[in-house]
Amino acid sequence: MCELLGMSANVPTDICFSFAGLMRRGGGIGPHRDGWGVAFYEGKGVRCFHDPNPCHDSAIAKLVESYPIKSQNVICHIRQANVGGVSLANTHPFTRELWGQYWAFAHNGQLANFDSTKGPFRPVGDTDSEAVFCHLLNTLSQHYEQPPDTSDLIQTLSQACQPLLEHGVCNIMLSNGDWLFTLCTSKLHWITRRAPFGAAHLSDVEVSIDFTEHTTSADIVTVIATEPLTNNEQWNACQRGEWRLWQAGETRMSGSIKR
């Protein structure tokens, strides 16, 4: 299984602390040796780093860990390949442009016999994950020529997720830079940090941070991850079928998809 890490914040925030925990699982203490990637939104732009090599000894991962890139929406993924070989083309997050917006997507799980919907978006690599991403964007582009109201969009999106449940495990993160959509079909945890901030300690490596030194009292930052990344905080577990739309660090909409 792969691991996902996402962030939604109301101010541009770096993800160095959480990334440091996750990358220890990338071929270091974990089995996820098959590449990693991260997408940071900055304004309408998105900055991606991809590496098909294990992240625990990646020069690019070291840069991302040490160079504080500030963003309000981040999607990160470390991979243990099941469907699709180890290659740059198969390394998440995947990105596409729709309606003049960049969309980024990462997936944890495995889908059997899933073919993407036909449409303008086609997979470049051969993962089930990229086929899911293309299915979602093809569905949205077939429904709307222009970006619709977010509530309409999310209704269409959650309906497009429904058939995925019949094909296997599908924990996903999807963003258009304005919001972050998460779907849990097996495992996903989240924590929202806000004032009064405290200290946090990573589970995977001897690193602590005192968020009071890095935040203002107005900051709201939610971190979403496959497994909790810290061992001294209370993380929330998503239910099976639960989706959430995160914006500025808060849940703006949520719902449930049943098989």
Residue numbers of the site for its own copies (CB under 8 A)? 42-50, 52, 59-60, 63, 67, 87-91, 95-97, 99-102, 120-125, 141
Task: Let me know the angle formed at the C-alpha of 22 by 20 and 25, rounded to the nearest 5 degrees.
Answer: 115
Nearest approach in angstroms of CB 144 to its own copies is 13
Query: Which residues are registered as beta bridge partners of 42?
Result: 45
Provide, rounded to whole angstroms, the least separation between the CB of residue 88 and its own copies: 3
Query: Which residue's CB is nearer to its own copies, number 97 or number 152?
Result: 97
Whole-Å CA distances, 122 to 34, 132, 133, 147, 158: 23, 10, 9, 20, 20
* Minimum distance from residue 135 beta carbon to its own copies (Å): 14
- Alpha-carbon span 219 to 209, nearest angstrom: 16
Whether residue 238 lies in the annotated active site: no
81-84's contacts with Cβ under 8 Å and 24+ in sequence apart are: 81/34, 81/35, 82/110, 83/110, 83/111, 83/126, 83/127, 83/128, 83/129, 84/125, 84/126, 84/127, 84/128, 84/129, 84/130
Residue 37, classified by CB atoms within 10 Å of its CB into exposed (0-12), middle (13-18) or buried (19+), is buried
C-beta closer to its own copies: residue 71 or 158? 71
Q: Point out the catalytic residue in the list 2, 76, 170, 184.
A: 2
State which residue, 87 or 155, has the beta carbon closest to its own copies.
87
Residue type at 78?
I
CB of 189 to its own copies, least distance (A): 30
Q: State the minimum distance, in angstroms, from the CB of residue 93 to its own copies.
A: 13
DSSP, collapsed to helix, strand or coil, labels residue 128 as helix
CA distance 186 to 177: 25
Q: Which is nearer to its own copies, 142 or 156 (CB)?
A: 142
Three-state secondary structure call for residue 246: strand
Nearer to its own copies, 45 or 196 (CB): 45
Burial 146-164 (b: 16+ CB within 10 A, else e): eeeebeebbebbbebbebb
Residues assigned a catalytic role: 2
